[in-house]
Amino acid sequence: MATPLRRDAERRQALVEIDALAAVMLGITAEELCAIYRTQFGVLRKYERVMQFDANGRQVPREVLKDAERFGPRANLGRYEPPFVGVDREAEMTIAHAEFTRRAATRTEGVDRSASHASDVCTASVSHGTRSTSPAQPPGLSIGWYEPA
């Protein structure tokens, strides 16, 4: 990754993607991942129920949210810019899991095709007495595919 994750929303999204990627690597389905989240991470769920981010990706403190709720458009929001958006880790993990599963399947298909092609190249190379290298691997999975709305 070329740029650090500077915004709260970006750092949180990276954690969600890491969870989903680890689940794909371990063979855990999206439903199982969400069940693990619900059963094992009650405190995190409690915090995320009230967590909101502003238009710039900053996590909005509870006091600011209370003021915004109490005073409406006259509230002093400080550096936080509406609209404030809540989070849904289960939905985000499900989306990330589906994307990483798709990428892993694409990568596997590409490796299978590359392996097949490499064996053909090796066979041809052996008959000509030359040495060849296998084709380049397709690109791997990477963070940053999903932009929160």
C-alpha 17/C-alpha 103 separation (Å) is 13
Residue 118 has pLDDT above 50, yes or no: no
pTM: 0.71
Residue 71 has pLDDT above 60, yes or no: yes
C-alpha 88/C-alpha 137 separation (Å) is 35
Cis peptide before 83 (omega within 30 of 0): yes
Question: Using an 8 Å Cβ cutoff, are 78 and 54 in contact?
Answer: no
pLDDT band at 52 (very low <50, low <70, confident <90, very high): very high
pLDDT band at 120 (very low <50, low <70, confident <90, very high): very low
Residue 33 has pLDDT above 60, yes or no: yes
pLDDT for the residue 1: 60
Q: Is 129 exposed, middle or buried (0-12, 13-18, 19+ CB in 10 A)?
A: exposed
